[in-house]
Amino acid sequence: MKMLLLGAASLLAATAPAYAQDTSEAEFDGPYIGASVGYSFQGNDVGETILFDRDLNGTFGDTVVTTAPANAFSPGFCNGAATSTANVGCTNDKDGITYSARLGWDFQFGNVVAGVVLEGGKTEIRDSVSGFSTTPARYTMTREIDWNAGLRARLGYVAGGRTLFYGTGGGAYAKVDHSFSTSNTANSFTGRGKNDVWGWSAGGGVEQKVGKNFSFGVEYLYTRYDDDDYTVRAGPGTAPATNPFLLGNTSGTDFRRSDNRFDHHGIKATANFRF
Give the model confidence (pLDDT) of 75-124 as tens digits.
999 999 999 999 988 999 999 999 999 999 999 999 999 999 999 999 99
Q: Answer yes or no: is 165 within a domain.
A: yes
Residue 249 lies in a domain: yes
Q: Which band of pLDDT confidence, cut at 50, 70 and 90, is reported for residue 24?
A: low
**Confidence check: pLDDT of 7 > 70:** no
Q: Which helix (H) or strand (E) holds 119?
A: strand 112-123
Residue 27 domain-assigned (yes or no): no
Whole-angstrom distance, CA of residue 123 vs CA of residue 36: 11
SS3 percent helix, strand, coil of the chain, rounded to 5, is 10, 60, 35
pLDDT the model gives residue 257: 97
137 in any annotated domain: yes
Helices vs strands, H then E, count in the chain:
1, 16
Judge whether residue 201 has pLDDT over 60.
yes
Structural domain contains residue 26: no
Q: How far apart are CA 269 and CA 5, in angstroms?
A: 6
**121 in a structural domain:** yes
Enumerate the H helices of the chain as residue ranges: 2-15
Provide mean pLDDT across the span 30-40. Answer: 98
Per the structure, the count of domains in the chain is 1
In a domain, 16, yes or no: yes
- Which residues are CB-neighbours of 81 under 8 A, at least 6 positions away? 90, 91, 128, 130, 140, 142
- For residue 139, being part of any structural domain is answered with yes
Distance between CA 101 and CA 111 in Å, rounded?
Answer: 26
Residue 182 domain boundaries: 2-21+32-274
Q: pLDDT digit string (tens) for 40-88?
A: 999 877 889 999 999 999 999 999 999 999 999 999 999 999 999 999 8
Neighbours of 111 (CB within 10 A): 14
